[in-house]
Structure 1
């Protein structure tokens, strides 16, 4: 909830402090108190183990006590005055925990009405736990958390902690005791503004300035290209909402990513990122593209045990695979491997400085990129999650590994209903050995709708080609886009 500088929460407070840069990176873009804020909630389902309701309630309380960000209120008042207030763990349990006793069970993961909770983060804790119970015993626990308090990695931590707490309560003991410390958001925020934190920020902002300068120089003179406006693509349906998305489940791309990693020693995320950059180049008719890859941004043991939102972006400059593969200095395979290694190196160096002041980096983007600011060639986001983070958290996995299409003839791009909130340009990849699900998001204003389906198919084709040891020429993009 957005409030004035003099606002204080109408509740008891354990302590208060500033927001982290990662929290600022989120709240600066999200409208306040809207009925669409649920769009980016992060959700998961945890088995209830048929434990008595009382034991499950105690386990949920254990987790809330362990992680301050789940029991905090946020005052949104800009860069300097935003604060978060940590409340006692017992204050709002009745608001957070909802027991659905003997109700019709929602057996499909995430197919629940509470997934669409619009948290008023100035008045409510940013978490809800819904207990699906029968006869006083819990079958399933649905967790819904506002993105200001958690990210996909953090949701995995939350699920692990809740499972640990359930086992402990079932055995009649306390779950966490004096175990290893968990990183808390207020402590992170205070460290970011400490002398050491300010020294880090100087290095981080210097890195961003150099990288953005390289992107601006590489794209100098490029005229942003916007295809004709067809927001839902060939398979779409008309509807309300400015932001669109489509997705593809691909066994071929998932297997290809693993094969590329084994052959090159480079992570699958770099291979997907390079393929996405090539698709962006094709749509925007450019030989290069600036992409902002999302970093997990967790560099300590305490951060690894924290549920807090930590993800931040980092700038990467990528060439089109179709361009690097035709150079005269080597075979298409050798050129591709060089581009892939450079992409991975940029990811690695960028991870070190992803946690930069988002107000400063956004100002740099606008000043340095100029007319390219917020265009498709220099502003897309990219997110990659492997099975260790995403397996139980997303809504798009097929029902079992056998649900992935098996060959090229089966691939189908599915368009989702329009949304009031979303990303201007973004690709998200969810990957496990059995397959990959990758989705594209865009806004009506960008014009990517006409090319969205072919972009996803092109990414899949590029991954399969690279996994074949780059046999032959790289694939050409589909009919609605053309190679730069």
Structure 2
């Protein structure tokens, strides 16, 4: 690769948070790797594909950034030049090329990255009759989150079509990790960090100590965490209508519905969520390929009897959570350790809410999915090992024609019927808020590993 901009500086808050998490995961760190494999139609000459990827490396510094621990601190080093190994495979048909790309993707994703010694990128090309027909791409989570990965794929497509990094950089402004770190280390950034950590200490000092009934004794470390998935075209259609009727954002409507259903499961009126926030509210952040792994703390002191009133009560705490979601994560961990040492056990913040929806992701999926009706479905496709510090984790995902709610829960706290009750309850609250009144959804039969629920 020809010379690009290089330099070094302190790591960003996002880089520090993910680096800390990967070190703790140890051999399990690869499960944080980001991955995508896609067909290339009608095919590209290898030189064109490699040229486009070289331009992508020039466009986004995060893809050339290594994280190095030096003098007790984490430093980012952006390389001005270097070489990225690329796996090139040859197959004799499109079907075999797709299979080879899937295998290559799995191999890339299963290996941890040497965060200090290699670029956080792995690339593979599969050729048929001399043309690239499949691309496999894996990024370390220290370089990007899911939002940034989608930007990288979009930009790679533009570059493969003949655009240049210089042209794209001239058309838009976006944060690069070195500038991001400099802003965070500025007086304004330090004030923001201090305010966010103060917000966390305050909420965790006053919030609920347990949100779900807990069995006596120590939890079984071998217990399983079931995964429930609700795919709902009705929810996707009703959500914007409900938001318009309630005069708020659709994200707040969903958050309020989740808070209401968690309160019902736990039998209490106070709710505390960790809310995963991408901080993509500005153009500079929205267009960046970087990792912004920050969590906000959403604390609702009391649910209302009426759902519309609960939505209104959620707006202030939600805004406060988003405003205080950027901070120095290792320092926050030290703050919470000091809180415990003072005799204050922090509130239960083991419930995680992650609204991942991104309009670009829906547009990209729509283009690849083609036509066809989407069927409503509730299923339990998998179980996972115990997740320390997590009781419930819910992801909101936009898919073509529907919204999916993915829920992982501690099997010692919630059984499958209760998980189904939560997901169907969230959906039902939104439908009712949209004015689509109908009978409450019935949960799936927990005796079956998966199942479908159709409209009554």
Shorter-chain TM range is 0.7 to 0.9
* Equivalent residue runs for 1:332-481 within 5 Å: 335-363=306-334, 367=339, 370-371=344-345, 373=347, 375=348, 378-391=349-362, 402=372, 404-406=374-376, 411-418=377-384, 424=390, 425-431=392-398, 434-443=401-410, 447-450=413-416, 451-468=418-435
Is the contact made by 2:125 and 2:136 (CA closer than 8 Å) also made in structure 1?
Answer: yes
Q: 1:20 aligns with which of 9, 12, 18?
A: 12
Partner of 1:39: 31
Residues 13 and 154 of structure 1: CA distance in aligned 2, closer, same or farther (over 3 Å):
closer
| Cα-Cα RMSD | 3.9
Tell me the equivalent position of 2:196.
Answer: 204
Q: CA deviation digits over 1:188-215, x for unaligned, max 9?
A: 11221222222222333343344445x5
After superposition, the C-alpha distances for 1:438-461 in whole angstroms (9 at most, x for unaligned) are: 1112456x6345543433233233
Q: What are the Cα deviations for residues 5-57 of structure 1, in whole angstroms up to 9, with x where unaligned?
A: xxxxxxx9942222111222222233368443222222234553411011111
C-alpha change, 1:453 and 1:336, in structure 2 (3 Å) is closer
Equivalent in 112, 115, 121 of residue 118 of structure 1: 112
Give 1:61 shift: 1.1
Match of 1:85 in 2: 77
Structure 1: 5+ residue stretches without partners: 1-11, 232-239, 326-334
Q: Is the 8 A contact 2:273 2:297 kept in 1?
A: yes
Secondary structure of residue in 2 paired with 1:31: helix
Match of 2:304 among 324, 330, 334: 324
1:98 aligns to 2:87 (yes or no) = yes
Counterpart of 2:97 in 1: which secondary structure? coil
Corresponding residue number in structure 2 for 1:257:
239
Contact 1:292 1:313 in 2 (8 A): yes
Cα separation, 2, equivalents of 1:41 and 1:154: 13
Give the 3-state SS of the residue equivalent to 1:342 in structure 2. Answer: helix
Spell out, residue by residue over 1:252-293, the C-alpha distance to the aligned partner (whole angstroms, 9 max, x if none).
222222321232232222222222222322333322210111
For 1:225-254, what per-residue CA distance to the aligned partner results, in whole angstroms no more than 9, with x for missing partners? 22699x9xxxxxxxx896553322122222
Q: 1:59, CA displacement in angstroms?
A: 0.7
Secondary structure of the residue aligned to 2:213 is: coil
Equivalent residue number for residue 51 of structure 1: 44
Q: Equivalents in 2 of 1:39, 1:422: separation in Å?
A: 15
CA contact (8 A) 2:7 2:80 kept: no
TM-score, normalization by structure 1: 0.76
Say if 2:350 and 2:389, in contact at 8 Å, map to a contact too: no
User: Match for residue 64 of structure 2?
Assistant: 71
Name the counterpart of 2:452. none
How far residue 391 of structure 1 moved from its aligned partner, in angstroms, is 3.2
Would the alpha carbon gap of residues 319 and 390 (structure 1) be closer, same or farther in structure 2, given more than 3 Å must change?
A: farther
Specify every segment of 5 or more residues in structure 2 that has no aligned partner in the other structure, as ranges: 447-456
Seen in structure 2, the aligned counterparts of structure 1 residues 131 and 342 have a Cα distance that, compared at 3 Å, is farther
- How far apart, CA to CA, are the structure 1 residues paired with 2:330 and 2:381? 33
> Is the 8 Å Cα contact of residues 97 and 133 (structure 2) preserved in structure 1?
no
Distance 1:308 1:70 in 2: 9
Matches of 1:164 and 1:415, distance apart in 2 = 36
TM-score, normalised to structure 2's length?
A: 0.80
8 A contact 1:298–1:304 mirrored in 2: yes
CA displacement at 1:184 relative to structure 2: 1.6
| Change beyond 3 A, Cα 1:273–1:250 | same
CA contact (8 A) 1:226 1:448 kept: no
- 1:354–1:33 Cα change, 3 Å: closer
- Name the structure 2 match of 1:225: 213
